């Protein structure tokens, strides 16, 4: 893979090549990507989507929105630091094509900002709830109407693939969706393959999938423009990762490792002394002990350690990226950057404690269980109404559901059972946590009960 192709400014619908040398320095194309993402309705809905603690009543716990903003900030730093070294190693990128280190930062920041845009309500259990609906729930009845790959899209519903759909799929009157640069869409696609074949183990790029069947043609066009190396997947389409995807992933890994841990401390799920000890192990080579001891307020002590920890891991991730740059361009790096970190043991200790004290906390588990029921019930009425309309078999209840809920979300009217089901899933996955609860109250009659009607 070649950096000149990987940094493509092309957008869907372009009739001429966009050259970096011709860009307006006050508003670069990669910076336009960031703006388009942050103003999209899908991004705004992240303000009320679970990061770790579902429907938390506290002010200081992260949502998907605050998490995504923080990941984009870390991603920008990673991109700029790595970009400066890439340009030093490949000077023709700047001398001939006009690329600057901030271009790398802008691409990684935009892709990082969007990295959770396709995630359903109620955290990762939302993905599992949608898959369970088609695996063991009422959605099983649609299996005979789908190809194996189409059914796998739903059975293993993936927030990454849904995010790509939201960003790149055309909507009525809006060809190209958000019309982001191909470089940003490539960096966004963490798992550049379709849902089948599914293999356990193997390269990290094949751990999940990142493209629904409906968007495979669009993604293949983007991959060819970027010059992504094709993976040899028997019976399936897949490509090696865009190199900057490794930096997007590192930004996410750094933030959820450190900041989820911080949320656990603030919620009292992890004792302060115990938690600070873990963070100090990570930053022991950089900490100013005298300064740290002079900080009296616990949140300030925690903030100081958090900043040191993030800075430490950013520098380490950039080091690994540059050491592995040639292997990455050949499509040969099989693991995440932080898997090769010199701080891997400290990271694993923090994650292990977070799993035990935060991710499996009763408050989290109880809300995730409720999320399963809520999403399954909404999916049952939405999929039923969408497929009934497609088949010309709507009853009065289906018509009420179709009039009450914006199931198509600007997408063209479904022409197959697969498209109808995917539109219903996309509607549900785009809901915020509270919107999902509100709709569930409507369809279950609870809202009327609360109003004493």
Confidence band of 452 (pLDDT split at 50, 70, 90): low
Do 408 and 423 meet the contact criterion of CB atoms below 8 Å apart?
yes
The terminus-to-terminus CA distance of the chain in angstroms comes to 64
Which candidate, 405, 397, 396, places its Cα nearest to that of 438?
Answer: 405
Cis peptide, bond prior to residue 197, ω within 30 of zero: yes
Give the C-alpha distances (Å, rounded to integers) separating 81 from 34, 100, 103, 168, 402: 19, 11, 11, 28, 50
Sketch out the chain's domains with CATH numbers.
29-119+148-226 (1.10.3210.10), 243-362 (1.10.3410.10), 363-450 (1.10.3550.10)
Indicate the helix (H) or strand (E) that contains 66. Answer: helix 64-89
Q: What is the crossing angle of helices 417-429 and 362-390, to 10°? A: 150
Proportion of the chain above pLDDT 90, given as a percent: 69
Q: Hey, what long-range contacts does 201-204 have (CB within 8 A, 24 or more apart)?
A: 202/334, 203/334, 203/335, 204/334, 204/335, 204/336, 204/339
Confidence band of 153 (pLDDT split at 50, 70, 90): very high
pLDDT digits (tens, 9 = 90+) for 58-104: 556 688 999 999 999 999 999 999 999 999 999 999 999 999 999 99
Q: Using alpha carbons only, how large is the chain's radius of gyration in Å?
A: 23
Identify the residue with better confidence: 172 or 399: 399
In the prediction, which pLDDT does 56 show?
58
In the prediction, which pLDDT does 370 show?
87
pLDDT digits (tens, 9 = 90+) for 102-117: 999 999 999 999 999 9
* Three-state secondary-structure class, residue 193: strand
Q: What is the pTM of this model?
A: 0.94
Do 119 and 375 meet the contact criterion of CB atoms below 8 Å apart?
no
Q: Hey, what long-range contacts does 309-313 have (CB within 8 A, 24 or more apart)?
A: 309/258, 309/279, 309/282, 309/283, 310/74, 310/254, 310/255, 310/258, 311/286, 312/282, 312/283, 312/285, 312/286, 312/343, 313/250, 313/254, 313/257, 313/258, 313/282, 313/338, 313/341, 313/343, 313/347
Structure tokens, 182: 């191909």
pLDDT digits (tens, 9 = 90+) for 186-199: 999 999 999 999 88
In the prediction, which pLDDT does 60 show?
61
E strand spans, 202-261: none
In the prediction, which pLDDT does 401 show?
94
């Amino acid at each position: 893979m070649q950096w000149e192709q990987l940094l493509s400014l092309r957008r869907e619908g372009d009739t001429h090549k966009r050259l970096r040398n011709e860009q307006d320095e006050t508003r670069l194309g990669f910076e336009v990507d960031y703006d388009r993402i942050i103003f999209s309705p899908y991004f705004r809905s992240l303000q009320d989507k679970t990061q770790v603690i579902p429907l938390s009543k506290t002010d200081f716990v992260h949502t998907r929105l605050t998490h995504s903003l923080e990941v984009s900030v870390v991603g920008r730093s990673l991109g700029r630091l790595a970009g400066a070294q890439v340009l030093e190693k490949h000077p023709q990128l700047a001398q001939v094509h006009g690329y600057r280190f901030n271009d790398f930062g802008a691409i990684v920041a935009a892709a990082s900002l969007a990295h959770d845009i396709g995630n359903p309500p109620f955290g990762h259990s939302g993905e599992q709830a949608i898959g369970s609906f088609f695996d063991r729930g009422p959605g099983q009845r649609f299996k005979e109407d789908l190809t194996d790959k189409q059914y796998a899209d739903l059975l293993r519903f993936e927030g990454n693939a849904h995010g790509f759909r939201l960003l790149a799929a055309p909507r009525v009157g809006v060809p190209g969706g958000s019309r982001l640069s191909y470089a940003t869409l490539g960096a966004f696609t963490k798992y550049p393959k379709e849902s089948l074949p599914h293999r356990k183990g193997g390269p990290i790029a094949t751990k999940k999938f990142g493209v629904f069947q409906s968007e495979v043609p669009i993604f293949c066009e983007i991959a060819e423009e970027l010059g992504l190396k094709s993976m040899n997947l028997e019976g399936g389409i897949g490509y090696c990762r865009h190199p900057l995807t490794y930096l997007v992933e590192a930004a996410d890994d750094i933030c959820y490792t450190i900041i989820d841990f911080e949320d656990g401390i603030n919620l009292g799920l992890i004792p302060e002394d115990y938690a600070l000890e873990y963070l100090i192990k990570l930053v022991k080579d950089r900490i100013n002990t005298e300064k740290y001891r002079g900080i009296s307020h616990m949140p300030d002590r925690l903030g100081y350690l958090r900043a040191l920890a993030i800075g430490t891991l950013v520098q380490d991730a950039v080091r690994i990226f540059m050491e592995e740059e040639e292997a990455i361009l050949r499509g040969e790096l099989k693991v995440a950057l932080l898997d090769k970190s010199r701080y891997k043991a400290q990271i694993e200790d923090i994650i292990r404690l977070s799993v035990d004290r935060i991710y499996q906390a009763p408050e989290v588990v109880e809300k995730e269980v409720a999320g399963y029921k809520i999403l399954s019930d909404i999916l049952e009425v939405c999929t039923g109404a969408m497929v009934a309309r497609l088949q010309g078999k709507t009853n009065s209840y289906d018509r009420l559901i179709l009039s009450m809920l914006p199931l198509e979300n600007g997408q063209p009217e479904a022409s197959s059972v697969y498209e109808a089901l995917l539109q219903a899933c996309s509607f549900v996955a785009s809901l915020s946590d509270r919107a999902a609860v509100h709709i569930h109250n409507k369809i279950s009659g609870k809202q009327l009960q609360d109003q004493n009607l």
